[in-house]
Amino acid sequence: MADLQFQLTDDVWQKMLALEGAPISAIVVWDQSMLDETLDEPITPATRAFVDIDLYLADQTKLELYGASITNDEESEPIIGLEDIGETLARYAQNGAMIDEIASGPDEMLVLILSNQRQESLLVAVSAWLEETWDVLPEEIM
């Protein structure tokens, strides 16, 4: 099992660069987040700003993203609400989502820039992540 990563060090960044351009086969958004225990206020689906996400890439890499916030661009506020976050990511997945770029945010935080065939982009800022492999896509499990 891979180690949980919290910072995008130079070595980790070099390894992550191989994921740029990777098509996303499936996206799973969890209704709880690793960050929930650290927040002062109780979280409801309508007030959720941080989610845990599994990205299933076409090369059978699975990125488990913990404490992720999603914005449309650097100036936008994060998308709030589990339903809005899920719908936004589902729309990207339906329109050929891919990891366009690996970037670094404050304190060497991982930021994934997702794009799709409609030339839309999303920024996904991640508190922690894990890289694994997958054998079966989530919809094939059910």
Task: Give tens-digit pLDDT for 73-113.
Answer: 889 999 999 999 999 998 888 888 999 999 998 888 999 99
Cβ neighbours for 89, distance < 8 A, ≥ 6 positions apart: 27, 29, 53, 70, 97, 122
**pLDDT for residue 6 is more than 90:** yes
Identify which has the larger pLDDT, 142 or 99: 99
Task: Give tens-digit pLDDT for 31-51.
Answer: 989 888 888 888 999 999 999
- Domain residue extents for the chain: 10-134
Among the residues of 1-142, which ranges form H helices? Answer: 10-16, 82-94, 138-141
DSSP assigned state of 19: G
Return the pLDDT at 24.
94
Q: Is residue 21 left, alpha or beta, with left meaning phi > 0 and alpha meaning psi from -120 to 50?
A: left
**pLDDT for residue 1 is more than 60:** no
